[in-house]
Every structure is written in structure tokens, then in C-alpha cells.
Amino acid sequence: MTEKYFHISRHPDNQAPTDVAFTPVNSNPIPKKYLDFKSDIEAFVAAISHLYAREPAKRHDFLEQAYYAASLCFSGTDSDFSTSVQTLAEIKSKVITTSWSKIRNRILTTYGLVVTILSVVFFVISQFTAGMLNNLPIVLAGSCIGSWLSMAIRTKDFQFDDIVSGFNELDSPILRACFVCALTSVITVLLLSGFLEINIGNMSSSAISSDVWAAFAIGSIFGFGEQSLVSTLTEKSQGYLRGDN
């Protein structure tokens, strides 16, 4: 036997719970593994509350399963801890196998709509600013499409913890699209100004202003690899500030 550490309850009540509440039993120190499990349950509940915002029955079902796992963990029996960890892992796996495909399709559809609208806007702008913006709108259109492909590929084999860690990205498609476009704009300006140069095969970034297809291809690559672009841009910026060649 061990201490219970927390009293587990449904919040705000048993009739219409929306969360799992943890009330400390006393002020004694709590082992880290129990605190980690508590955080894991809280993250799980927050995730399903959003993922199943349109499906209250499923949200309630998974909330009850999380409540059971938490109750098992803090039952006061030390041997129940490993069982509760395994139980939570199985619940997460169930979310992935039964629902992630549908949720992912909804996310990709929403983000696809956002990037499609932006791409059309950029293509229209390019027609009215031909020769004026060095094909920057074409680069941005390519980055939008590339970022959608990146999201589609990266989320294909997501595990539950990946969903939790990438929650903001998946939840805010417009914000993500704005980030990709802003990042692409900065990189493109650096390329056009001569601060950076990229060579891919026989194609150079210097072709952006003169070749529409090169501009679109480079933009697509920027969108597809926007996560690595952040680290690259940071390293280059720090190098310039240090005076590195």
C-alpha cells in the first residue's frame, strides 16, 4: 500500500463532467512519477476535449476512461501504477485507431481550403504586379501548397503524444499559413538581396525573379521544409551578427 496522493473526481459534477479533478489528500511530497501521470491525464483530457468538441458522446466516453485510469493510479495501491500507465497508453492508442483518420482529414480539408484561397489570391496578385515584385507572390503560392503537403505527410503516422505536442499547429490553420507566408517572405527577400543563395540541382535561387516555375518550385520547397528553414534562418542570422563569413 502507498498514499493515494490525490482524490480523483469528475469536474464539475458526475452528471455532466468536462474534466478530471485532482484534489491533494495532504501536503506530503508526491513522487515525480505520479505527478507525471497526473500531467499526462490532464494533457489527454485537454486534447480529447478539443478533438471531440463536435462529438460529445465520444468525448464523454474517453473522459470516463481517463477518469478510470486516474482513479486506478491513485487508488493507494502501488502495484496499480503500472496498470494505470498501460491503461492510459491503450486509451491513447484507441483514439488513434478509431478517430485520428477522420480528425486528420478534417484538419487537412480546413487547412487545404485556407492555402487554396491564399494561393489563388497570390496568383491573382502576380498577374497584376508582373515584373514588379520579382515573382514573390508566386513563391508564396508555392509555399502554401508545400506546407499543406508537409502537414499531410507528417501527420500520416502521428501518435497521440504527437497530436498533443503539435496541438496549436493543428488547431490554427490560418495562423500556420500566415507563419509560413511570413517566413517565406523573409527568406525570399534575403535571397533577392543577395544575403543568401540556394542551389538545387541546376536551379539557383537567383532565378526567382526571372523564372515563374523556379519561383513556384522554390516556394514549394520552402513550404515543405518550413520547420528546418526556421533553424537555418536562425543560424544564418546569428552568423551575420557574429561577423562570420
Confidence class for position 170, pLDDT limits 50, 70, 90: low
The confidence score (pLDDT) of residue 191 equals 86
Same domain, 201 and 166: yes
Same domain, 152 and 71: no
Tell me, yes or no, whether 226 lies in a domain: yes
As given in the structure block, the three cell numbers for residue 151 are 502537414
Tell me, yes or no, whether 182 lies in a domain: yes
Same domain, 219 and 186: yes
What number of helices (H) and strands (E) belong to the chain? Answer: 10, 4
The answer to whether residue 124 scores a pLDDT higher than 80 is yes
Structural domain ending residue among the three candidates 18, 47, 78: 78
Tell me, yes or no, whether 94 lies in a domain: no
Structural domain ending residue among the three candidates 78, 108, 141: 78
How many structural domains compose the chain?
2
Span 203-243, pLDDT tens digits: 778 888 888 999 999 999 999 987 777 776 677 666 666 66
Question: How buried is 176 (Cβ within 10 angstroms: 0-12 exposed, 13-18 middle, 19+ buried)?
Answer: buried
Same domain, 170 and 51: no
Range of the domain at 164: 100-242
Tell me, yes or no, whether 85 lies in a domain: no
Tell me, yes or no, whether 91 lies in a domain: no
Query: Which amino acid is located at 146 in the chain?
Result: G
CA distances from 10 to 13, 91, 115, 224 (A): 6, 18, 40, 43
Query: Which amino acid is located at 63 in the chain?
Result: L
User: What does pTM read for this prediction?
Assistant: 0.76
Same domain, 59 and 142: no
Span 80-119, pLDDT tens digits: 999 999 999 999 999 988 888 888 888 889 899 999 999 9
Query: Which amino acid is located at 153 in the chain?
Result: I
Same domain, 180 and 123: yes
Q: Diameter of the chain by CA atoms?
A: 76
CA distances from 30 to 5, 7, 69, 124, 237 (A): 7, 13, 18, 60, 44
Same domain, 66 and 121: no
Tell me, yes or no, whether 197 lies in a domain: yes
Tell me, yes or no, whether 11 lies in a domain: yes
Same domain, 179 and 70: no
Same domain, 31 and 143: no
Tell me, yes or no, whether 48 lies in a domain: yes
